[in-house]
Amino acid sequence: EINEWNRQQGSTESVLNLRRMTNIGTFRAYLNEYLRNHPRIRKDMTLMVRQLAPGDNGLPLEIYAFTNTVVWLEYESIQADIF
């Protein structure tokens, strides 16, 4: 898919105009699928994993998801399982 998009753009000389597969992009896709298949994450509510602006401590990812419980200890256990 990425190679096809790059070919359609007709620009192979400059890497600035091309899409590239990155480790962070691959990890985001993995994490998104992991959460979609997690038994304790709600499937009927918003779920997203997004990349935030780089900072002094690295490249942060934001996970936005809802658990299927409101019991605080269960929530903490689910969160610990994800992180």
pLDDT in tens, the chain (83 residues): 767 766 776 655 555 555 566 788 889 999 999 999 999 999 999 999 999 998 999 989 999 999 999 999 999 999 999 98
Query: For residue 42, how many other CB atoms are within 10 A of its CB?
Result: 13
Q: Tokens in use for 39?
A: 């038994």
Query: What pLDDT shows up at residue 4?
Result: 78
Enumerate the domain spans of the chain.
22-82
Query: What pLDDT shows up at residue 14?
Result: 56
Q: CA end-to-end span of the chain, whole Å? A: 30
How many alpha carbons lie under 13 Å from residue 29 in its C-beta half-sphere?
6
Confidence (pTM):
0.70
